[in-house]
Amino acid sequence: MGTAPSLYEWVGGITALERLTELFYQKVAADPLIGPVFAQMNPDHPAHVAAFLAEVLGGPPLYSALHGGHPEMIRHHLGKHLGESQRRRWINLLLDSYTELELPADPEFASALVSYLEWGSRMAVLNSVEGATPGLDEPMPKWGWGEVKGPYQPGQG
């Protein structure tokens, strides 16, 4: 049995992630709930987010090398006052974009991706509230396949 590919490899690498973030941020710009949060977005923002996701999913450390790593991503959320409805819309638009592009649809990958999106978006909300004091020395999160089978496994007593 061979070694499982990284999530980054499985999704299709940086090309797939750049396609995803381009489509996603087009949807964001038109969205009345979260569009205003990104109204002053740099045109390179989708590529930066693609590089961040690539690194989190096991790809090359481009975001850390070029954009300041996880501490810089945390700084981008400080004082944004994000709420649960915005967080959920962010995830929904990203997953809608993912589906629209027909990226890998297998349940194991979807489980790992949604797990990261839930964790990361909740951290963004926590770091966005007034008075938040996040650890700016936190390492880049690294996401893998995780445990996707649950506690019950057929054939085990």
81 within some domain: yes
CA distance 26 to 70: 24
Q: Please say whether the beta carbons of 143 and 57 come within 8 A.
A: yes
Residue 125, number of CB atoms within 10 A of its CB: 19
21 within some domain: yes
The pLDDT value recorded for residue 2 is: 64
Q: Cite the beta strand spans of 2-152 per DSSP E.
A: none
142 within some domain: no
Q: Which residues of the chain have pLDDT under 70?
A: 1-2, 69, 71, 78-79, 147-157
For residue 59, the 8-state DSSP code is S
80 within some domain: yes
* Global pTM value: 0.86
Per the structure, the complete domain to which residue 35 belongs is given by: 7-128
CA distance 154 to 74: 42
85 within some domain: yes
Question: What is the CA 77 to chain-centroid distance, rounded?
Answer: 14
- 62-83 pLDDT, tens digit each: 988 887 767 677 777 766 788 9
Counted domains in the chain? 1
What CATH number does residue 78 fall under?
1.10.490.10
